[in-house]
A and B are shown apart, each in its own frame.
Chain A
Amino acid sequence: MSQLLPAWSEPFATDHRAALRRLQPFGPIDRSWAFGSADGDGVVVAIVDSGVEGGHPAVGGALRESVRVELQGEDAAVVPDEPIDAVGHGTACAGIVHALAPKATLLSVRVLGSDNRGKGLAFATGLQWAIENGASIVNLSLSSRSESLYATLHDLVDRAYFANVLLICAANNVAVASYPSLFAAVVSVAAHDVRDPGVWFYNPHPPVEFGAYGLDVEVAWKDGGRIVATGNSFAAPHLAGYAARVRSAHPDATPFEIKTILGATATPAG
Protein backbone atom coordinates (compact mmCIF):
# COMPACT_ATOMS: atom_id res chain seq x y z
CA MET A 1 0.00 0.00 0.00
CA SER A 2 1.30 3.43 -0.78
CA GLN A 3 1.75 6.14 1.80
CA LEU A 4 -1.05 8.51 2.64
CA LEU A 5 -0.73 11.73 0.69
CA PRO A 6 -2.33 15.18 0.99
CA ALA A 7 -5.57 15.89 -0.80
CA TRP A 8 -5.34 15.89 -4.63
CA SER A 9 -2.15 13.82 -4.43
CA GLU A 10 -3.74 10.40 -4.96
CA PRO A 11 -3.06 10.14 -8.73
CA PHE A 12 0.67 10.43 -7.97
CA ALA A 13 0.79 7.69 -5.32
CA THR A 14 2.82 4.57 -6.14
CA ASP A 15 -0.29 2.40 -6.55
CA HIS A 16 -2.04 4.80 -8.89
CA ARG A 17 0.71 6.00 -11.17
CA ALA A 18 0.04 3.37 -13.81
CA ALA A 19 -3.03 5.43 -14.73
CA LEU A 20 -0.73 8.32 -15.69
CA ARG A 21 0.89 6.30 -18.52
CA ARG A 22 0.09 7.61 -21.97
CA LEU A 23 1.56 8.20 -25.36
CA GLN A 24 4.20 10.87 -25.01
CA PRO A 25 3.24 13.62 -27.47
CA PHE A 26 6.85 14.80 -27.76
CA GLY A 27 9.91 13.03 -29.04
CA PRO A 28 13.10 15.01 -28.71
CA ILE A 29 12.26 17.07 -25.60
CA ASP A 30 14.35 15.85 -22.70
CA ARG A 31 15.71 17.45 -19.57
CA SER A 32 19.08 18.26 -21.04
CA TRP A 33 17.38 20.24 -23.79
CA ALA A 34 14.71 21.65 -21.47
CA PHE A 35 17.08 23.10 -18.89
CA GLY A 36 20.36 21.14 -18.88
CA SER A 37 22.74 23.00 -16.63
CA ALA A 38 20.71 26.22 -16.72
CA ASP A 39 20.66 27.74 -13.23
CA GLY A 40 17.82 30.25 -13.36
CA ASP A 41 20.11 33.10 -14.40
CA GLY A 42 18.11 36.16 -15.48
CA VAL A 43 14.83 34.81 -14.08
CA VAL A 44 12.91 36.58 -11.32
CA VAL A 45 10.82 34.36 -9.05
CA ALA A 46 8.33 35.98 -6.68
CA ILE A 47 7.40 34.18 -3.47
CA VAL A 48 3.93 35.31 -2.39
CA ASP A 49 3.81 33.98 1.16
CA SER A 50 4.70 34.80 4.79
CA GLY A 51 7.84 36.75 3.83
CA VAL A 52 11.37 35.50 3.14
CA GLU A 53 14.27 35.66 5.56
CA GLY A 54 16.88 37.33 3.37
CA GLY A 55 19.84 36.33 5.53
CA HIS A 56 18.95 32.64 5.70
CA PRO A 57 21.80 30.47 4.34
CA ALA A 58 19.29 28.51 2.24
CA VAL A 59 18.27 31.70 0.42
CA GLY A 60 21.92 32.39 -0.40
CA GLY A 61 21.58 36.14 -0.87
CA ALA A 62 19.21 35.68 -3.85
CA LEU A 63 16.49 37.88 -2.34
CA ARG A 64 16.40 41.17 -4.25
CA GLU A 65 13.36 42.92 -2.82
CA SER A 66 10.79 42.48 -0.08
CA VAL A 67 7.37 44.07 0.06
CA ARG A 68 4.27 43.48 2.12
CA VAL A 69 0.61 44.23 1.65
CA GLU A 70 -0.88 46.65 4.14
CA LEU A 71 -4.62 46.97 4.55
CA GLN A 72 -5.94 50.49 4.88
CA GLY A 73 -9.65 50.34 5.49
CA GLU A 74 -11.27 48.90 2.39
CA ASP A 75 -8.09 49.26 0.35
CA ALA A 76 -4.79 47.45 0.27
CA ALA A 77 -1.41 48.96 -0.48
CA VAL A 78 1.96 47.39 -1.20
CA VAL A 79 4.77 48.88 0.89
CA PRO A 80 8.49 48.06 1.25
CA ASP A 81 9.22 45.43 3.88
CA GLU A 82 12.19 44.15 5.84
CA PRO A 83 13.61 40.84 4.53
CA ILE A 84 11.85 38.92 7.31
CA ASP A 85 9.50 35.97 7.59
CA ALA A 86 6.77 35.92 10.23
CA VAL A 87 6.38 32.16 9.99
CA GLY A 88 9.15 30.36 8.12
CA HIS A 89 6.86 29.06 5.37
CA GLY A 90 7.92 31.59 2.72
CA THR A 91 11.59 31.01 3.54
CA ALA A 92 11.01 27.27 3.08
CA CYS A 93 9.63 27.89 -0.43
CA ALA A 94 12.40 30.36 -1.29
CA GLY A 95 15.02 27.86 -0.11
CA ILE A 96 13.63 25.11 -2.35
CA VAL A 97 13.61 27.41 -5.41
CA HIS A 98 17.13 28.64 -4.65
CA ALA A 99 18.49 25.10 -4.24
CA LEU A 100 17.23 24.15 -7.73
CA ALA A 101 17.81 27.46 -9.53
CA PRO A 102 20.64 29.17 -7.61
CA LYS A 103 21.07 32.09 -10.02
CA ALA A 104 17.38 33.06 -10.05
CA THR A 105 16.57 36.33 -8.31
CA LEU A 106 13.88 36.24 -5.63
CA LEU A 107 11.17 38.75 -4.71
CA SER A 108 9.23 38.36 -1.49
CA VAL A 109 5.63 39.53 -1.27
CA ARG A 110 4.37 39.13 2.29
CA VAL A 111 0.62 38.69 2.37
CA LEU A 112 0.14 37.10 5.78
CA GLY A 113 0.04 38.75 9.14
CA SER A 114 -2.68 41.17 8.24
CA ASP A 115 -6.17 41.62 9.56
CA ASN A 116 -8.16 38.42 9.16
CA ARG A 117 -11.06 39.91 7.26
CA GLY A 118 -8.87 41.39 4.57
CA LYS A 119 -6.60 38.46 3.95
CA GLY A 120 -8.19 37.53 0.63
CA LEU A 121 -7.79 41.10 -0.53
CA ALA A 122 -4.18 41.14 0.68
CA PHE A 123 -3.48 37.94 -1.22
CA ALA A 124 -4.97 39.26 -4.48
CA THR A 125 -3.16 42.59 -4.09
CA GLY A 126 0.16 40.85 -3.48
CA LEU A 127 -0.31 38.62 -6.50
CA GLN A 128 -1.15 41.61 -8.69
CA TRP A 129 1.97 43.42 -7.47
CA ALA A 130 4.15 40.41 -8.33
CA ILE A 131 2.66 40.19 -11.83
CA GLU A 132 3.19 43.89 -12.47
CA ASN A 133 6.64 44.25 -10.92
CA GLY A 134 8.97 42.11 -12.92
CA ALA A 135 8.37 38.56 -11.69
CA SER A 136 8.44 36.04 -14.51
CA ILE A 137 7.52 33.13 -12.24
CA VAL A 138 5.33 33.44 -9.14
CA ASN A 139 5.24 30.71 -6.49
CA LEU A 140 1.90 30.58 -4.70
CA SER A 141 2.06 27.99 -1.97
CA LEU A 142 -1.17 29.39 -0.63
CA SER A 143 -4.57 30.01 -2.08
CA SER A 144 -7.91 31.54 -1.21
CA ARG A 145 -11.18 29.73 -0.57
CA SER A 146 -13.11 32.96 -0.86
CA GLU A 147 -15.82 32.67 -3.50
CA SER A 148 -16.09 36.45 -3.51
CA LEU A 149 -12.52 36.63 -4.85
CA TYR A 150 -13.10 34.05 -7.58
CA ALA A 151 -13.55 36.62 -10.33
CA THR A 152 -10.71 38.86 -9.13
CA LEU A 153 -8.26 35.96 -9.00
CA HIS A 154 -9.46 34.56 -12.30
CA ASP A 155 -8.82 37.94 -13.88
CA LEU A 156 -5.35 38.13 -12.30
CA VAL A 157 -4.48 34.67 -13.60
CA ASP A 158 -5.48 35.70 -17.12
CA ARG A 159 -3.49 38.89 -16.77
CA ALA A 160 -0.43 36.93 -15.64
CA TYR A 161 -0.80 34.52 -18.56
CA PHE A 162 -1.00 37.34 -21.09
CA ALA A 163 1.87 39.19 -19.41
CA ASN A 164 4.10 36.11 -19.84
CA VAL A 165 4.20 35.43 -16.08
CA LEU A 166 3.99 31.78 -15.04
CA LEU A 167 2.03 31.07 -11.83
CA ILE A 168 2.94 27.90 -9.94
CA CYS A 169 0.25 27.09 -7.36
CA ALA A 170 0.10 24.51 -4.58
CA ALA A 171 -3.19 22.61 -4.52
CA ASN A 172 -5.05 22.89 -1.23
CA ASN A 173 -4.00 20.34 1.42
CA VAL A 174 -7.66 19.83 2.23
CA ALA A 175 -10.03 18.53 -0.42
CA VAL A 176 -11.82 21.80 -1.03
CA ALA A 177 -11.77 24.21 -3.95
CA SER A 178 -9.35 27.07 -3.60
CA TYR A 179 -8.09 29.63 -6.04
CA PRO A 180 -6.13 30.26 -8.14
CA SER A 181 -4.76 26.70 -7.81
CA LEU A 182 -7.69 25.21 -9.74
CA PHE A 183 -7.60 27.62 -12.69
CA ALA A 184 -6.48 26.22 -16.04
CA ALA A 185 -3.78 28.78 -16.83
CA VAL A 186 -1.68 28.03 -13.74
CA VAL A 187 0.67 25.15 -13.02
CA SER A 188 -1.14 23.38 -10.18
CA VAL A 189 0.99 21.11 -7.97
CA ALA A 190 0.27 18.46 -5.34
CA ALA A 191 2.72 16.12 -3.56
CA HIS A 192 4.02 12.68 -4.51
CA ASP A 193 5.55 10.06 -2.26
CA VAL A 194 9.02 9.75 -3.83
CA ARG A 195 11.65 11.45 -1.70
CA ASP A 196 13.53 12.99 -4.58
CA PRO A 197 13.40 16.67 -5.57
CA GLY A 198 14.24 15.69 -9.16
CA VAL A 199 11.10 13.60 -9.57
CA TRP A 200 7.88 15.15 -10.80
CA PHE A 201 4.90 13.60 -12.50
CA TYR A 202 2.49 14.97 -15.05
CA ASN A 203 -1.19 14.13 -14.64
CA PRO A 204 -3.19 14.43 -17.87
CA HIS A 205 -6.37 14.65 -15.78
CA PRO A 206 -6.75 18.22 -14.50
CA PRO A 207 -7.23 20.26 -12.38
CA VAL A 208 -4.04 19.30 -10.53
CA GLU A 209 -1.63 18.49 -13.34
CA PHE A 210 1.68 18.06 -11.51
CA GLY A 211 2.94 16.05 -8.56
CA ALA A 212 6.28 17.04 -6.98
CA TYR A 213 8.27 16.33 -3.83
CA GLY A 214 6.23 17.42 -0.79
CA LEU A 215 6.37 14.67 1.79
CA ASP A 216 8.78 15.05 4.74
CA VAL A 217 10.86 17.66 2.95
CA GLU A 218 13.75 19.18 4.87
CA VAL A 219 13.21 22.90 4.44
CA ALA A 220 14.58 26.21 5.66
CA TRP A 221 12.53 27.83 8.41
CA LYS A 222 12.57 31.08 10.33
CA ASP A 223 15.49 32.33 12.41
CA GLY A 224 18.01 30.54 10.21
CA GLY A 225 16.54 27.17 11.12
CA ARG A 226 15.67 24.00 9.22
CA ILE A 227 12.79 21.61 9.84
CA VAL A 228 11.05 18.72 8.15
CA ALA A 229 7.67 19.67 6.73
CA THR A 230 4.95 18.04 4.69
CA GLY A 231 2.39 19.51 2.33
CA ASN A 232 1.56 20.57 -1.21
CA SER A 233 3.09 23.92 -0.19
CA PHE A 234 6.54 22.38 -0.49
CA ALA A 235 5.82 20.56 -3.77
CA ALA A 236 5.00 23.76 -5.70
CA PRO A 237 8.41 25.46 -5.25
CA HIS A 238 10.14 22.38 -6.68
CA LEU A 239 8.27 22.94 -9.94
CA ALA A 240 8.93 26.69 -9.63
CA GLY A 241 12.65 25.95 -9.39
CA TYR A 242 12.62 23.77 -12.52
CA ALA A 243 10.41 26.27 -14.34
CA ALA A 244 13.01 28.96 -13.54
CA ARG A 245 15.69 26.77 -15.11
CA VAL A 246 13.55 26.22 -18.22
CA ARG A 247 13.00 29.98 -18.45
CA SER A 248 16.72 30.70 -18.22
CA ALA A 249 17.47 28.09 -20.92
CA HIS A 250 14.60 29.28 -23.15
CA PRO A 251 13.91 32.94 -22.35
CA ASP A 252 11.32 33.18 -25.13
CA ALA A 253 9.19 30.31 -23.88
CA THR A 254 5.68 31.38 -22.83
CA PRO A 255 3.83 30.06 -19.77
CA PHE A 256 1.96 27.62 -22.02
CA GLU A 257 5.22 26.35 -23.50
CA ILE A 258 6.93 26.04 -20.11
CA LYS A 259 4.02 24.03 -18.81
CA THR A 260 4.27 21.83 -21.88
CA ILE A 261 8.01 21.36 -21.39
CA LEU A 262 7.53 20.51 -17.71
CA GLY A 263 4.89 17.98 -18.74
CA ALA A 264 7.14 16.50 -21.44
CA THR A 265 10.11 16.16 -19.10
CA ALA A 266 8.15 14.73 -16.18
CA THR A 267 9.36 11.48 -14.64
CA PRO A 268 7.89 8.55 -16.61
CA ALA A 269 4.86 7.28 -14.73
CA GLY A 270 4.06 3.70 -13.76
Chain B
Amino acid sequence: MTDDRDALLPTLHAVALRVEAARRLAPPAGTAVLQSIVEATAVLFGAEAASLALHDAGTDRLVFAVAAGEQGQGVVGLAIDSGQGVAGYVFSTGQPLALSDVERDARFGRDTAEQTGYVPRSLIAVPLMDDEGILGVLEVLDKCGGGAFDLRDVELATVFARQATVAIRSSRIERDTANLLRSTLRGADEGASTGSGSDEAALDSIVAAAIDRLGADDDDPLWALADQIARLRAADPYQLELVRELLAVLVRRAERGRGRVR
Protein backbone atom coordinates (compact mmCIF):
# COMPACT_ATOMS: atom_id res chain seq x y z
CA MET B 1 0.00 0.00 0.00
CA THR B 2 2.85 2.37 0.86
CA ASP B 3 4.23 2.17 -2.67
CA ASP B 4 0.99 3.48 -4.13
CA ARG B 5 0.83 6.20 -1.56
CA ASP B 6 1.44 9.11 -3.93
CA ALA B 7 -1.46 8.06 -6.13
CA LEU B 8 -3.67 7.19 -3.21
CA LEU B 9 -3.32 10.39 -1.20
CA PRO B 10 -5.22 12.85 -3.42
CA THR B 11 -8.11 10.38 -3.65
CA LEU B 12 -8.12 9.81 0.10
CA HIS B 13 -7.97 13.55 0.71
CA ALA B 14 -10.99 14.09 -1.55
CA VAL B 15 -12.86 11.30 0.24
CA ALA B 16 -11.93 12.75 3.61
CA LEU B 17 -13.16 16.19 2.53
CA ARG B 18 -16.56 14.81 1.57
CA VAL B 19 -16.82 12.73 4.76
CA GLU B 20 -15.90 15.74 6.85
CA ALA B 21 -18.51 17.87 5.07
CA ALA B 22 -21.14 15.14 5.61
CA ARG B 23 -20.08 14.87 9.25
CA ARG B 24 -20.54 18.58 9.80
CA LEU B 25 -23.93 18.47 8.11
CA ALA B 26 -25.19 15.67 10.37
CA PRO B 27 -27.18 16.51 13.48
CA PRO B 28 -25.20 16.85 16.74
CA ALA B 29 -23.33 13.71 17.87
CA GLY B 30 -25.28 10.79 19.27
CA THR B 31 -25.79 12.14 22.77
CA ALA B 32 -29.29 10.69 22.65
CA VAL B 33 -27.84 7.17 22.31
CA LEU B 34 -25.49 7.76 25.24
CA GLN B 35 -28.22 9.27 27.37
CA SER B 36 -30.54 6.33 26.75
CA ILE B 37 -27.72 3.94 27.69
CA VAL B 38 -27.14 5.53 31.11
CA GLU B 39 -30.88 5.87 31.76
CA ALA B 40 -31.35 2.18 30.94
CA THR B 41 -28.34 1.27 33.09
CA ALA B 42 -29.74 3.04 36.14
CA VAL B 43 -33.15 1.34 35.71
CA LEU B 44 -31.67 -2.09 34.97
CA PHE B 45 -29.53 -2.12 38.10
CA GLY B 46 -31.90 -0.23 40.35
CA ALA B 47 -29.11 2.29 40.85
CA GLU B 48 -29.17 5.82 42.20
CA ALA B 49 -27.01 7.02 39.35
CA ALA B 50 -25.08 5.94 36.27
CA SER B 51 -22.53 7.75 34.16
CA LEU B 52 -20.65 7.21 30.95
CA ALA B 53 -17.18 8.47 30.06
CA LEU B 54 -15.73 8.35 26.55
CA HIS B 55 -12.06 8.40 25.66
CA ASP B 56 -10.91 11.48 23.79
CA ALA B 57 -7.96 10.27 21.73
CA GLY B 58 -6.78 13.83 21.09
CA THR B 59 -6.16 14.61 24.75
CA ASP B 60 -5.91 10.99 26.00
CA ARG B 61 -8.49 11.80 28.64
CA LEU B 62 -11.78 10.24 29.69
CA VAL B 63 -14.61 12.71 29.42
CA PHE B 64 -17.88 12.07 31.26
CA ALA B 65 -20.44 12.69 28.53
CA VAL B 66 -23.77 11.84 30.14
CA ALA B 67 -25.23 10.77 33.47
CA ALA B 68 -28.53 9.51 34.82
CA GLY B 69 -29.99 10.19 38.24
CA GLU B 70 -30.08 13.46 40.10
CA GLN B 71 -26.96 12.65 42.09
CA GLY B 72 -24.90 11.78 39.06
CA GLN B 73 -25.25 14.98 37.06
CA GLY B 74 -22.27 16.75 38.64
CA VAL B 75 -19.87 14.47 36.82
CA VAL B 76 -20.94 15.51 33.30
CA GLY B 77 -18.16 17.39 31.56
CA LEU B 78 -15.49 16.12 33.97
CA ALA B 79 -12.31 15.01 32.17
CA ILE B 80 -9.81 12.72 33.87
CA ASP B 81 -6.50 11.14 32.91
CA SER B 82 -7.04 7.90 31.03
CA GLY B 83 -5.09 5.97 33.68
CA GLN B 84 -6.39 7.80 36.73
CA GLY B 85 -8.94 6.64 39.24
CA VAL B 86 -11.39 3.80 38.98
CA ALA B 87 -12.61 4.80 35.51
CA GLY B 88 -9.01 5.14 34.32
CA TYR B 89 -8.11 1.72 35.66
CA VAL B 90 -11.06 0.09 33.94
CA PHE B 91 -10.31 1.92 30.71
CA SER B 92 -6.60 1.09 30.71
CA THR B 93 -6.98 -2.55 31.66
CA GLY B 94 -10.35 -3.52 30.19
CA GLN B 95 -11.14 -5.14 33.54
CA PRO B 96 -14.40 -4.49 35.37
CA LEU B 97 -14.14 -3.35 38.98
CA ALA B 98 -16.68 -3.69 41.79
CA LEU B 99 -16.08 -1.64 44.92
CA SER B 100 -18.14 -1.23 48.04
CA ASP B 101 -17.89 0.42 51.43
CA VAL B 102 -16.35 3.31 49.55
CA GLU B 103 -17.94 5.96 51.77
CA ARG B 104 -16.55 4.37 54.94
CA ASP B 105 -13.27 6.01 54.15
CA ALA B 106 -13.83 9.66 53.37
CA ARG B 107 -10.37 9.96 51.81
CA PHE B 108 -11.33 7.71 48.94
CA GLY B 109 -13.76 10.11 47.41
CA ARG B 110 -12.15 13.39 48.30
CA ASP B 111 -11.06 14.24 44.78
CA THR B 112 -14.27 13.01 43.22
CA ALA B 113 -16.44 14.79 45.76
CA GLU B 114 -14.64 18.05 45.19
CA GLN B 115 -15.21 17.79 41.49
CA THR B 116 -18.70 16.30 41.34
CA GLY B 117 -20.27 16.87 44.75
CA TYR B 118 -21.12 13.17 44.99
CA VAL B 119 -19.30 10.14 46.39
CA PRO B 120 -21.04 6.80 45.89
CA ARG B 121 -21.19 4.14 48.61
CA SER B 122 -20.62 1.37 46.11
CA LEU B 123 -19.99 1.18 42.40
CA ILE B 124 -19.42 -1.00 39.39
CA ALA B 125 -17.24 0.24 36.56
CA VAL B 126 -17.08 -1.73 33.32
CA PRO B 127 -15.29 -1.07 30.04
CA LEU B 128 -17.25 -0.03 26.94
CA MET B 129 -15.45 -2.62 24.89
CA ASP B 130 -15.86 -4.61 21.71
CA ASP B 131 -13.46 -6.41 19.38
CA GLU B 132 -12.26 -3.07 18.01
CA GLY B 133 -11.14 -1.84 21.40
CA ILE B 134 -12.30 0.22 24.37
CA LEU B 135 -14.35 3.39 23.83
CA GLY B 136 -14.77 4.39 27.45
CA VAL B 137 -16.24 3.36 30.78
CA LEU B 138 -19.76 2.83 32.10
CA GLU B 139 -20.28 3.32 35.84
CA VAL B 140 -23.22 2.15 37.93
CA LEU B 141 -23.43 3.94 41.26
CA ASP B 142 -25.23 3.01 44.48
CA LYS B 143 -27.94 0.42 44.50
CA CYS B 144 -31.28 1.90 45.56
CA GLY B 145 -31.94 0.71 49.09
CA GLY B 146 -28.26 0.61 49.98
CA GLY B 147 -27.22 -3.00 49.22
CA ALA B 148 -23.87 -3.79 47.63
CA PHE B 149 -23.52 -4.80 44.00
CA ASP B 150 -22.64 -8.47 43.57
CA LEU B 151 -20.78 -10.35 40.88
CA ARG B 152 -24.00 -11.07 39.04
CA ASP B 153 -24.39 -7.30 38.65
CA VAL B 154 -20.81 -7.03 37.38
CA GLU B 155 -21.40 -9.77 34.85
CA LEU B 156 -24.66 -8.22 33.69
CA ALA B 157 -23.05 -4.78 33.46
CA THR B 158 -20.21 -6.23 31.38
CA VAL B 159 -22.64 -7.81 28.91
CA PHE B 160 -24.80 -4.70 28.82
CA ALA B 161 -21.78 -2.46 28.22
CA ARG B 162 -20.80 -4.59 25.25
CA GLN B 163 -24.19 -4.04 23.66
CA ALA B 164 -23.96 -0.34 24.46
CA THR B 165 -20.57 -0.21 22.77
CA VAL B 166 -22.05 -1.61 19.57
CA ALA B 167 -24.76 1.06 19.67
CA ILE B 168 -22.28 3.85 20.35
CA ARG B 169 -19.92 2.72 17.65
CA SER B 170 -22.63 2.44 15.01
CA SER B 171 -23.91 5.89 15.93
CA ARG B 172 -20.54 7.50 15.58
CA ILE B 173 -18.34 5.51 13.25
CA GLU B 174 -19.30 7.68 10.31
CA ARG B 175 -18.68 10.76 12.41
CA ASP B 176 -14.99 10.33 12.78
CA THR B 177 -13.33 10.88 9.45
CA ALA B 178 -9.99 9.50 10.56
CA ASN B 179 -11.55 6.34 12.00
CA LEU B 180 -13.64 5.79 8.91
CA LEU B 181 -10.63 6.10 6.63
CA ARG B 182 -8.56 3.88 8.87
CA SER B 183 -11.14 1.11 9.05
CA THR B 184 -11.79 1.28 5.30
CA LEU B 185 -8.08 1.10 4.51
CA ARG B 186 -7.57 -1.71 6.97
CA GLY B 187 -10.49 -3.61 5.40
CA ALA B 188 -9.13 -3.01 1.91
CA ASP B 189 -5.69 -4.16 3.00
CA GLU B 190 -6.98 -7.37 4.58
CA GLY B 191 -9.11 -8.02 1.49
CA ALA B 192 -6.17 -7.59 -0.87
CA SER B 193 -4.79 -10.84 -2.23
CA THR B 194 -1.23 -9.52 -2.22
CA GLY B 195 -1.25 -9.95 1.53
CA SER B 196 1.49 -7.35 1.89
CA GLY B 197 -0.18 -6.07 5.06
CA SER B 198 0.63 -2.57 6.13
CA ASP B 199 1.33 -2.08 9.79
CA GLU B 200 -0.73 0.21 11.97
CA ALA B 201 1.90 2.95 12.02
CA ALA B 202 1.97 3.14 8.22
CA LEU B 203 -1.82 3.21 8.17
CA ASP B 204 -1.87 6.02 10.70
CA SER B 205 0.56 8.11 8.73
CA ILE B 206 -1.48 7.69 5.53
CA VAL B 207 -4.67 8.67 7.34
CA ALA B 208 -2.93 11.61 8.99
CA ALA B 209 -1.67 12.83 5.61
CA ALA B 210 -5.12 12.44 4.06
CA ILE B 211 -6.92 14.46 6.70
CA ASP B 212 -4.11 16.95 7.14
CA ARG B 213 -5.35 20.56 7.01
CA LEU B 214 -8.90 19.32 6.61
CA GLY B 215 -10.37 21.36 9.39
CA ALA B 216 -7.52 23.80 9.77
CA ASP B 217 -9.31 26.77 8.22
CA ASP B 218 -12.69 27.16 9.84
CA ASP B 219 -13.25 30.35 7.84
CA ASP B 220 -13.20 28.35 4.63
CA PRO B 221 -16.50 29.12 2.82
CA LEU B 222 -17.11 25.36 2.44
CA TRP B 223 -17.29 24.90 6.21
CA ALA B 224 -19.27 28.11 6.66
CA LEU B 225 -21.79 26.77 4.15
CA ALA B 226 -21.84 23.34 5.84
CA ASP B 227 -22.41 24.92 9.22
CA GLN B 228 -25.28 27.05 7.92
CA ILE B 229 -26.92 24.08 6.22
CA ALA B 230 -26.52 22.06 9.43
CA ARG B 231 -28.29 24.84 11.33
CA LEU B 232 -31.03 24.91 8.71
CA ARG B 233 -31.61 21.19 9.15
CA ALA B 234 -32.40 21.81 12.78
CA ALA B 235 -34.95 24.51 11.98
CA ASP B 236 -38.69 23.89 12.29
CA PRO B 237 -40.97 23.83 9.18
CA TYR B 238 -42.14 27.40 9.70
CA GLN B 239 -38.56 28.72 9.83
CA LEU B 240 -37.63 26.60 6.83
CA GLU B 241 -40.51 28.07 4.82
CA LEU B 242 -39.35 31.57 5.79
CA VAL B 243 -35.80 30.80 4.68
CA ARG B 244 -37.05 29.28 1.43
CA GLU B 245 -39.04 32.45 0.67
CA LEU B 246 -36.09 34.67 1.56
CA LEU B 247 -33.85 32.64 -0.73
CA ALA B 248 -36.40 32.87 -3.53
CA VAL B 249 -36.42 36.67 -3.19
CA LEU B 250 -32.62 36.74 -3.17
CA VAL B 251 -32.42 34.54 -6.26
CA ARG B 252 -34.90 36.73 -8.15
CA ARG B 253 -32.96 39.79 -7.14
CA ALA B 254 -29.68 38.23 -8.21
CA GLU B 255 -31.16 37.26 -11.60
CA ARG B 256 -32.42 40.81 -12.17
CA GLY B 257 -28.99 42.16 -11.24
CA ARG B 258 -27.31 39.85 -13.68
CA GLY B 259 -29.73 41.01 -16.41
CA ARG B 260 -28.80 44.65 -15.82
CA VAL B 261 -25.09 43.97 -16.10
CA ARG B 262 -25.65 42.24 -19.35
Chain A interface residues toward B at CB < 8 A: 3-6, 50, 74, 86-89, 112-116, 119, 142, 145, 172-174, 215-216, 218, 221-231, 233
Contacts and interface: CB of A to CB of B under 8 A. Distances in A.
30 contacts: A3-B150, A4-B150, A87-B83, A87-B88, A112-B83, A112-B93, A114-B83, A115-B60, A116-B55, A116-B82, A116-B91, A145-B94, A173-B154, A174-B95, A174-B158, A215-B151, A216-B148, A225-B105, A225-B108, A226-B104, A227-B104, A227-B108, A228-B100, A228-B148, A229-B97, A229-B98, A229-B100, A231-B95, A231-B98, A233-B95
B89 A112 contact: yes
Nearest to A223: B107
A148 to B, nearest CB: 9
A230 B154 contact: yes
B57 interface: yes
Nearest to B110: A223
B107 A116 contact: no
Contacts of A216: 100, 148
Which 3 A/B pairs are nearest by Cβ-Cβ distance?
A113-B83, A225-B105, A112-B83
Which of B91, B96, B99, B152 lies at the interface centre, i.e. has the most chain A CB atoms within 10 A of its CB? B99
Interface of B: 55, 57, 60, 81-86, 88-89, 91-102, 104-105, 107-108, 110-111, 134, 148, 150-152, 154-155, 158, 201
A224 B107 contact: yes
A230 B108 CA distance: 17
Contact of A230 (B98, B102, B105): B98
Q: What's the dominant secondary structure at chain A's contact region?
A: loop
Contact of A226 (B60, B88, B94, B105): B105
A20 B154 CA distance: 27
A216 B153 CA distance: 14
Contact of A228 (B91, B101, B111, B201): B101
B86 A87 contact: yes
B89 A89 contact: yes
Contacts of B151: 3-6, 215, 230
